[in-house]
Structures are given as C-alpha cells and as structure tokens.
A and B are shown apart, each in its own frame.
Chain A
Amino acid sequence: MAEVILKNVSKIYPGGYCAVQDISMEIRDKEFMILVGPSGCGKSTTLRMIAGLESISSGDLLIDGKRVNDVPAMDRDIAMVFQNYALYPHMTIFDNMAFSLHMRKYPKAEIKKRVEEAAEILGLTAVLDRKPKSLSGGQRQRVAVGRAIVRKPKVFLFDEPLSNLDAALRVQMRAELSNLHHRLQTTMIYVTHDQVEAMTMGDRIAVLHKARIQQIDRPMALYDRPASQFVAGFIGSPAMNFFRGRIKEVNNEMFLESDGFSLKLLPQTRDSLARGGQNVTDVMLGIRPEDVYDKLFIPAAEDRNVLPATVDLVEPMGAEIFLRLRCGAYSITARMRKDVTVTVGQDMDLVLDMKRIHLFEADSGRALLS
C-alpha cells in the first residue's frame, strides 16, 4: 500500500530557477504513473523530490498519507533506478543487489534469499559473481532494477531507465518492466521523454511542459482528448497536424477558414464549440495523421472539405506509409495504407475525417471541444 500525493509542489533551484511549478497529482496505490515531457521540463526534478534527493521548495509531499518533505531519502522506503544505472563498480552483482539490505542489517540468509530470488526473476543468476563492467548494457539495466526490487520498497522510481539501450533491447525491457509491475503490484513512477514508452507502459500519464503539469490521464484518453495543443502535439507519432484558421458562421453553418481552404464543421462540432469555446474565432485545428485520407478512397467526400496538396516525401513503414505533403503554407503528415501508390511531386486531394478533428484556442492552446 503506497500512494504518493503531491500538493502544490514547487522547486526553485539555488540561483532562482524554477524547475517545477505548483505541481499537484495523486499517484494511487499500485499505479504505474508516467511523467513525460520534453527535455528540461522538470521531470527528473519532480522524481528527485519524491525520492528525497532534492529538497522541496514549497508544497507538500505525502507518501501513504504521511507528509515526508523532511524525511531523509534513506527513510522514505523508496527505490530508484537511474538512467546511467549507477551500479557500484567495485562490488560484484550480488553485492550490488545486497547492498541496501546489508545497510539495513538484514540477516545474511534473508539477504541471500532475496537476492537470488530477484536474480532469478531478472535472469541474472549466472552473473552474480561478476563485476558490473563485465556486463552488457541490458544486464546492467537489470541489475539496477534488481537492486531496487530486493528491498521491496513502497514506491519505485525510474528516471529514463531505458534511454541508454539500443532500440531492440528497449522494446524488450519495456515489456519486462511492465510484467514486473504486474508481478510486484507496487506503485511505480516512471520518467521518460519517449512518448511511445509513456503510451505503452503507463496506467496513467502526466504530461509536463515548462515546469507545469499540462494534463494527467489514461494513455488513450490523452491521445483522444488532449486538453491542450501542447499535449496533442507531444503525444502521438507522427505528431498531430495543425492548421491555423478562423471560425465563421454562414447561414447557420459553421466553417473554418484558413489560407487556401475552407472546411465545413459538423453540427456536433458546432454544438460542442458552443459549450467550450463561445466567441472564440482564432483557432488551431488539429488532425491526427491517421485521420487524413486520399480523396480517391472517399467517394462521398464533400467537395468543400478537400485540401489540395503535393507529396513531398514518401516514408514506407512496412505495414503503412507515412506521407509528408505540402498544402499552401502548411506541411501535413498522412498515415495511409501501404497499397496507395504515390510518387514525390504528385498532387493529391486530401480529405479530413471531420468527426475526429480537434480545435484549440489559438493563443492559449486550450482545447475547445469536449
């Protein structure tokens, strides 16, 4: 049982830089929470404050209902896996994993049992006598995880643990860590700047940007209903397409006018907009690459919702093709079935799935549809 609660937590580094500003979130017991965001947004700082490696400038941190702001790191019952693994180079793998138990004066037999158990889970039994420098990157990563799990801590913290691994190993470790979470049933907080890791591993994701939390939600909810233009652009790969435009109402129908084209909005969009964004005229329209179609395949498309574009780049991905197209001043990414035959320079009429558009206020980036 361990829930971690941050209440209006801020971090101001000596020198006055505010790395984390007024962050509040509740991480539930046994939850796998992901902190994601671009470099420098304050992810590591947040994690390090939870760990007790960094002091909290203001706000409260509660673990299991107790305020722990002033509890030293070693007494918070938290384990952390670092990006560069931070294994003790002079100790064997066994000693690396046993160290924390040793420091806490566990009996020898218990230490041995726990370390061997963890080594078994992580496939490290054969290397227990070796030193870290003789292990591969993936093995070191596992040792770092093993060192955390032998302690059976209340909370696990991970700071970009996979970023030093090659792509294939990263995919594998991703799955292993997810399995581990199921197996251990412990609260985990995981920092990454890789939105694929965030989407695939997390129960919930907190998106950070410029020292603030932008949105916290389940992965698919975040994908389908981003609360801001930043989140919409950050989550999803390839990224969402954006067009700037003005809302116009003509004869009880609503249009989005942009340079070079005009799109007719659906009645439900209009209703939704009436609720969330009255009087807003300057907007950003967002559309995910998989919701952009070649008009040839959509015979029923209204002529008024067609975007004339030119193919700039063709990226075959195997199962599908990513197209980069130019439409006036905009660059658009489209995700299409692999059987479309296109060549660079070719003209193509695009159709947007108007049911799946997102609208954001142009200045603030706030989502207007709900």
Chain B
Amino acid sequence: MRYKIENFIRGAMSHILLWMVSIVCLFPLVWMLSTSFKRMDEVNTSVLTFWPKEFRFDNYVTVIREAHFGQYFMNSVFYTSLTVLGVLTFASMAAFVFSKFKFPGDRLFFYLFIGSMMIPIPGAFIPLFILLIKLNLVNTRLGLILPYINSGLAFAIYLFKGFFDEIPNELLEAAELDGCTKWKVYRMIMIPLAKPILATVSIFTAMAIWNEYLLALVIMISRPVLFPLQVGIMKFQGVHITDYPHLMAGMGLATIPILVIYLLLQRFMIKGVTAGAIKG
C-alpha cells in the first residue's frame, strides 16, 4: 500500500515537472504563432491577449508577397544544404583518418583540430572578417558558407570519430582483402554504416545554419539580395517601431523547414546519439 502511494506521488511529480518544462519551452513558440495572427494595434495595446480577436491570415500572405520571402527562403535553403553537405563530407573524411589511420602526431592533430574549432564564431569575428576581405569573399555566398562549414566541423568530427572508433578494424581489413582501396572502404563501408551519425549531424548543422543570424548579417553587409531568411525578415523590425505580426508570421514560416527535417530524421538521430557499437 505504502509503495503504491509512493509510486503514485513519484509519477505525479515527474509528470508535473515535465509539463512545466514543456510549457516553458513551448510558450515562446505559441506566443509567436498567436502574435502572427494579430493586428498591429492589438499587439500595441497594453492589455496582453493570448487569443487573437480575429485571425488574420493575410499577415502570412503579406510576408510572402512583399518581403522577398521566396528569395530569402531560397538563399537559406542554399546556404543550409551546402553547409550540411560540406560538414558531412569533410567531417566524415577527417574522422575516418583520425579513427583508423596511424601517423606521427595523430592525437595532437586531432585535439588541435577539435580545439581550434571550438572557438565560437563570434569570438573570431574580426580576424575572420579581415581574412574574408583579403580573400575578396565578403558579400559572396562562398564567404558565408566556408565559415559556416568550419563552425560545424568540430562537433561533427567528434561524433563521427566516436562512431568509427567502434567499428572493428577487422571489418576494414576484410574489405581491403575483398579488394577495396581506402577510398572504397570509406565509401562502401564507413559511410553506409554511419547513417545515424549522418542524420544527427545533418539535423544539428541544418538547425544551426538555418537559424544563424549574426554572421550572415555581417558578411552580406552590402548585398541584401543574398540575405538568408532570418536576416531578411528583420526588415519588419524597424528602428522605431517593429511590425510584430509580420515579423512573427515570417518567423513562423521560417520554422517549418526545420520542423520537417527534424521529423524526418529524428528516428535515425536518436539511434545516432544512443547507438555505440555495431555488432556484426
């Protein structure tokens, strides 16, 4: 009897806690949605209303029609997909080498590699910007994508290497005897096995890049046509007044692709985070 009550209380407590965390997390999202349907004057009243007086879907229509939404959206898709591709390629290759090849100083290189890239982008802003100017890459797509790729590598290499370390060497040796070159081993064995990691890295990278704001703003300083979505929709944020309903509608639209990617890849990703060894 006592155990029953104890169990009940314990269950209830954890549920209450989970609910509270969920609410805290979800509230900004819901607030964004609710605001996106409001009219400007409703937002500006001193009375906060949760439920809009009337649902104005035309906020969305206006955003899409007037704010070069399509163009910014395509820019974001371009930056995000190329960055993801770049990170997957370079990180998996580097991790393959760090995990399965022996060379003098391999450990040192690995930690240097990882360590140097752990410096967050804002910390390296000024040198980065100067470098890009010297390379004539400011206001170019490449100038944005290269630092983006770099910013994702450290974590991705770390994940890939952890996974590759668990793949028994005999598997690679068997492939070698079967006639694989190192490149084929990478292509035919390592990459197909690393699907969960590919998914995990894709999601994390895509989310980070899709939502990135500061670097894009700085690097595309005088080329607004190349703005990604997150920078583009900020035109609704004025110096004096901010058009919250349109801003929120734009943000709402901007979340959708990430949501879709997440839902599609989430299954693999959980595997990627929890799975360690693959036993043949």
Interface residue ranges, A against B (CB under 8 Å): 51-53, 73-74, 78-80, 82-90, 99-100, 103-104, 132-133, 140, 147, 151
- In the bound complex, residues from chain B placing their C-beta under 8 Å from that of A73 are 173, 176-177
* Chain B 142-180 interface 0/1 with A at a Cβ cutoff of 8 Å (1 = within): 000000000000000000000000001011011111111
Cβ of B279 under 8 Å from chain A: yes
* Chain B 177-194 interface 0/1 with A at a Cβ cutoff of 8 Å (1 = within): 111110010001100110
**Contact A79 to B179, CB < 8 A, known contacts A89-B193, A90-B192:** no
Q: How far is A302 from B175 in the complex, measured between Cα atoms in Å?
A: 65
Q: Is A86's CB under 8 angstroms from B173's CB?
A: yes
Q: How far is A339 from B280 in the complex, measured between Cα atoms in Å?
A: 48
- In the bound complex, residues from chain B placing their C-beta under 8 Å from that of A85 are 280
| Nearest CB on B from A110, distance (A) | 15
Main SS of the interface on chain B? helix
Q: Is B180's CB under 8 angstroms from A103's CB?
A: yes
Which bracket fits the contact residues of B? 20 to 34
Q: What are 15 A-to-B residue pairs whose CB atoms are below 8 Å?
A: A51-B173, A53-B176, A73-B173, A74-B176, A74-B180, A80-B177, A84-B168, A86-B280, A89-B193, A89-B278, A99-B188, A103-B178, A132-B280, A133-B280, A147-B178
- In the bound complex, residues from chain B placing their C-beta under 8 Å from that of A79 are 177
- In the bound complex, residues from chain A placing their C-beta under 8 Å from that of B170 are 82-84, 86
Q: Is A88's CB under 8 angstroms from B189's CB?
A: yes
Q: How far is A74 from B175 in the complex, measured between Cα atoms in Å?
A: 9
Q: How far is A84 from B169 in the complex, measured between Cα atoms in Å?
A: 11
* Chain B 186-220 interface 0/1 with A at a Cβ cutoff of 8 Å (1 = within): 00110011000000000000000000000000000
Q: Is A53's CB under 8 angstroms from B173's CB?
A: yes
| Nearest CB on A from B167, distance (A) | 9
Q: How far is A84 from B176 in the complex, measured between Cα atoms in Å?
A: 16
Q: How far is A9 from B176 in the complex, measured between Cα atoms in Å?
A: 23
| Complex: chain B residue closest to A85, CB-CB | B280
- In the bound complex, residues from chain A placing their C-beta under 8 Å from that of B177 are 51-53, 73-74, 78-80, 100
| Complex: chain A residue closest to B195, CB-CB | A90
Q: Is B178's CB under 8 angstroms from A99's CB?
A: yes
| Complex: chain B residue closest to A90, CB-CB | B192
| Nearest CB on A from B115, distance (A) | 26
Q: Is A74's CB under 8 angstroms from B179's CB?
A: yes
- In the bound complex, residues from chain A placing their C-beta under 8 Å from that of B193 are 89-90
| Complex: chain A residue closest to B181, CB-CB | A74
- In the bound complex, residues from chain A placing their C-beta under 8 Å from that of B278 are 89
Q: Is A86's CB under 8 angstroms from B168's CB?
A: yes
Q: How far is A271 from B151 in the complex, measured between Cα atoms in Å?
A: 83
- In the bound complex, residues from chain A placing their C-beta under 8 Å from that of B188 are 99
| Nearest CB on A from B181, distance (A) | 8
Q: How far is A338 from B175 in the complex, measured between Cα atoms in Å?
A: 52
**Contact A88 to B176, CB < 8 A, known contacts A103-B184, A132-B280, A133-B280:** no
| Nearest CB on A from B188, distance (A) | 8
Q: How far is A84 from B279 in the complex, measured between Cα atoms in Å?
A: 9
- In the bound complex, residues from chain B placing their C-beta under 8 Å from that of A104 are 179
| Complex: chain B residue closest to A80, CB-CB | B177
